[in-house]
Every structure is written in structure tokens, then in C-alpha cells.
């Protein structure tokens, strides 16, 4: 692949900007500064550096973000910063999209990608991708509430009961809820319909992806979609 085109595909700017990076000696491969902006480079497994920062070539990018509260899952946020503002400009330039959404006050696992096939696979209702949430609730959980969530509760915009795949009380005020749907404010509305109230909400798992304990709020890491459902 043409080196300029390679850099452009990785989000380093326009064609002109990428050529300037190369011609200014800021791009290195195997420790050697590249002087030819039109050099033919094999991208497979390629590691390179730009301005002293190391990168790996990725035909498609998929990242996991530990979403903090106070961020919107939108490219055009209205009231709070976008989750995209937490990522490097190179990833933002690639046009990453959120794989589903989390409310602005919900924290936890959020996937973003420019891989259309992965995006479809993880957002299609037909795939039944399980999502595990930890909800802190206002009132002590009761077995009646848990049973209602498991058997199905009726939301005002859907005459058919909506059931959780599982509902487990971790303690009196902590609910573990597993869903396969993706309705608007679904966890909060289901818990309200069961007779309680969500005070805080955190997503721990999505399909085969689990939020690592060491990934702090606002931090991100690459993930490999081929290793997941």
C-alpha cells in the first residue's frame, strides 16, 4: 500500500497532511525514518511510529471504552461532551461509531468501531447479543420484583411484556440484569415497572466482551472482533 494512503487510512489526516508528516521525517518503520511518501508498504502486521508515538496498522478499528458519566453517545452531542472526545484524533478521523448507546449518566462498557459488519452483528435484534448491567436501586430488592423482571414487565410503548434474560440480587440494593434487547432507557423503565428505581447504572459485559477491572473511566483499549460472538 502507498505509504501516504496507509497513513490516511489510519486517521492521520488528509493526503496532503500525511505526505507532510512523511516528508518532515516524522514517520518511522522499524526505527528508520521514511523519506518516500509514495513508498509501497505491506500493511499486514505493520507497526510504525508517527512523531515518536507507536501505532499498529488496523484495516478496521474496534475499541472498548470505559464510558464515564456525563458523556453522550453521539457525534453531535447536545448537552454533554461526546464519548468520541475521549479517543485520539486518529480514531475520531476514522469515523468510529458507537455499537449501541448508553445514556449520558450510564457508565461502563462501550464499543466503538468503523467495521460495518461487526456493527451490524452486535446491534441487530436478531443476534440477541446479551448485555449485563449492574444497577444500584433506591429500594431493597424483593423476590417479587426479580420475578417480575424475569417473567416480563409491560412498558408504556410496548403492549408485549419485556423480560430480562436473568435478574439477580447481588445485595439488597444491587441488581445484576441481563438483557438481549435495546429499547430506550430499557433498564430504568423495566426496574420502574417492577416497582423500584434505578439510582446508578453500569454496563459490565456485551456479548463476549467484558470490561477489564484495570480499565479506568475514560480509558480505552483495542479489542479484536474476530474473537467475539
- Tell me: pLDDT of 181 over 80: no
pTM of the predicted model as reported, rounded to 2 decimal places: 0.90
* Domains, the chain, ordered by start: 3-56 (3.10.290.10), 62-125+208-227 (3.30.70.580), 130-206 (3.30.70.1560)
**Are β-strands 62-67 and 153-155 bridged in parallel, bridged antiparallel, or unpaired?**
unpaired
Active site residue 38: no
Instruction: Report the share of the chain in percent with pLDDT over 70.
Output: 98
Phi, then psi, of 22 in degrees rounded to 5: -70, -50
**Tens of pLDDT along 23-40?**
999 999 999 999 999 999
Q: What is the arithmetic mean of pLDDT over 60-81? A: 90
**Tens of pLDDT along 136-156?**
999 999 999 999 999 999 988
CA distance 58 to 129: 25
> What pLDDT band is residue 228 in, cutting at 50, 70 and 90?
very low
Which is catalytic among the residues 36, 38, 103, 158? 103
Span of 4-13, 70-79, 207-216 with lowest mean pLDDT: 70-79
Amino acid at each position: 500500500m502507498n505509504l501516504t494512503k496507509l497513513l490516511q487510512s489510519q486517521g492521520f489526516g488528509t493526503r496532503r497532511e500525511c505526505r507532510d508528516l512523511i516528508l518532515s521525517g516524522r514517520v518511522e518503520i522499524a526505527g528508520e525514518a521514511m523519506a518516500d511518501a509514495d513508498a509501497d508498504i505491506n500493511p499486514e502486521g505493520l507497526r510504525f511510529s508517527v512523531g515518536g508515538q507507536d501505532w499498529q496498522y488496523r484495516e478496521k478499528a474496534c475499541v472498548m471504552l470505559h464510558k464515564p458519566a456525563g458523556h453522550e453517545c453521539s457525534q453531535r452531542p447536545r448537552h454533554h461532551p461526546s464519548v468520541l472526545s475521549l479517543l485520539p484524533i486518529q480514531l475520531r478521523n476514522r469515523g468510529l461509531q458507537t455499537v449501541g448507546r448508553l445514556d449520558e449518566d450510564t457508565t461502563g462498557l462501550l464499543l466503538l468501531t468503523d467495521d460495518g459488519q461487526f456493527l451490524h452483528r452486535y446491534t441487530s435484534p436478531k443476534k440477541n447479543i446479551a448485555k449485563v448491567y449492574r444497577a444500584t436501586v433506591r429500594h431493597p430488592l424483593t423476590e417479587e420484583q426479580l420475578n417480575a423482571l424475569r417473567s416480563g414487565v409491560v412498558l408504556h410503548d410496548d403492549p408485549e411484556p419485556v423480560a430480562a434474560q436473568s435478574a439477580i440480587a447481588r445485595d439488597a440494593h444491587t441488581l445484576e440484569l441481563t438483557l438481549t434487547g435495546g429499547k430506550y432507557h430499557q433498564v430504568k423503565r423495566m426496574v420502574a415497572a417492577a416497582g423500584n428505581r434505578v439510582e446508578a447504572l453500569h454496563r459490565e459485559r456485551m456479548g463476549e466482551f467484558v470490561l477489564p477491572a484495570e480499565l479506568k473511566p475514560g480509558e480505552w483499549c483495542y479489542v479484536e472482533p474476530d474473537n467475539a460472538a
